[in-house]
A = this chain, B = another copy of it.
Amino acid sequence: MTAIQTARQRARAELTSEIKAEARRQVAEAGAQRLSLRAVARELGMASSALYRYFPSRDDLLTVLIIDAYDALGESAERATAAAAGAGADARGQWRACCTAVRAWALAHPHEYALIYGTPVPGYQAPQETIGPAGRVAAVLGGLLAGAFAARGAGPAGSTIARPGGAAHPQAQASQAQDDGDGSGPWPHDGLPLAAPLPPVLREQAATVAAAIAPGVPGPVIARALIAFTQLFGMISFELFGQLVGSADPADAFFSYSVDQMADFVGL
């Protein structure tokens, strides 16, 4: 158990990743349900039974691929967001960058996208380990909201990421996560009233989400962010799965427009 790996350990690590790579290749090419241990083994020039030294079953291999896909998507979103921030983009610009990266990744890896956001494999139960990676995109967007909210709450002096046309409300204070009441606060909603107060159940769910990934953001904004989040993935799924044929296909313009509208919607 030293830092120096034995030859065996190195070989094992290498083969493990070769198996994953080949499996990923098959999923990318033909979809998750066509993933076959025998085909992977064949391609790697080994007996199919040998794979069982590395993965206890097909489902376990699938789980690893799912985690990898979530991670790849999450990393792509994080990178794009950070790059936008580095280039001086405000919160809205970063939101755009994140959403655009998610779509770009999905278009580039449609079967891997389907693996994580499409129909779940029947009988397959996502294990605990997938939860973290699955939340990375949400964490990025939640972080953006939290950052923007904190900056605005701090007043004009701290409003480096305030939207050019957006009217900050300097009189308000930054709220905490439990301040998820009616959403009246420092948030410029582009004139859109956050009218409907959250029903109790949603209020608590929003508080949980806020505590996890968007501290300080009030409940109604979280609720809207959830709406924007489901819209984002709904739109991408529709595009990939052919549901936009006959309406917004090709979807570039619609996507771009939607992202803008949803950024308005959440108050960025």
Contacts and interface: CB of A to CB of B under 8 A. Distances in A.
Interface in A134-161: 134-135, 138
A33 B257 CA distance: 36
A119 B114 contact: yes
Interface stretch (A57-65, A76-84, A88-96, A192-200): A192-200
A55 interface: no
Contacts of A122: 30-31, 33-34
A120 B241 contact: yes
Given A33-B33, A192-B191, A223-B257, A120 B242 contact: yes
A121 to B, nearest CB: 9
Nearest to A223: B257
A237 interface: yes
A258 interface: yes
A238 B242 contact: no
Contacts of A248: 202, 205, 209, 226
Contact of A231 (B33, B191, B230, B243): B230
Contact of A257 (B199, B235, B252): B199
Contacts of A120: 241-242
19 contacts: A34-B122, A114-B119, A117-B237, A118-B118, A118-B241, A131-B246, A191-B193, A192-B192, A199-B253, A199-B256, A202-B248, A205-B247, A205-B248, A209-B247, A226-B248, A230-B235, A230-B238, A233-B237, A234-B237
Given A33-B33, A191-B192, A202-B257, 13 more contacts: A34-B122, A117-B241, A117-B243, A126-B242, A134-B243, A190-B193, A208-B246, A209-B248, A226-B248, A227-B235, A231-B234, A232-B234, A234-B234
Interface of A: 30-31, 33-34, 114, 117-120, 122, 126, 131, 134-135, 138, 190-193, 195-196, 198-202, 205, 208-209, 223-224, 226-227, 230-235, 237-238, 241-243, 246-250, 252-254, 256-258, 260-262, 264-265
